[in-house]
């Protein structure tokens, strides 16, 4: 099952991924996107979130 990761040092906090996959990504108090605990890509379009990230901070494995 695919799992997404966000490189917090690369993320610029634009919020695009949290809009595309709100069940998977959430904005943290640091202003960066984080993957919710235990969340996976089932039922969302995290490939689209990955390709839409302007800085390539999302990886899926």
Q: Please report whether residue 58 would count as binding ligand SF4 according to CB under 6 A.
A: yes
Q: Please report whether residue 39 would count as binding ligand SF4 according to CB under 6 A.
A: no
Contact by Cβ (8 Å): 31, 23: no
Q: Please report whether residue 57 would count as binding ligand SF4 according to CB under 6 A.
A: yes
Q: Please report whether residue 16 would count as binding ligand SF4 according to CB under 6 A.
A: yes
d(CA 44, CA 55) in angstroms, rounded, equals 20
Binding site for ligand SF4 (CB under 6 A): 6, 11-17, 33, 53-55, 57-58
């Amino acid at each position: 099952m695919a799992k997404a990761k966000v490189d917090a040092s690369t993320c610029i906090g634009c919020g695009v991924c949290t809009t595309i996959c709100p069940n998977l990504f959430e904005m943290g108090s640091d202003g960066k996107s984080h993957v919710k605990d235990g969340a996976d890509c089932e039922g969302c379009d995290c490939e689209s979130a990955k390709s839409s990230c302007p800085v390539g901070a999302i990886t899926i494995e």
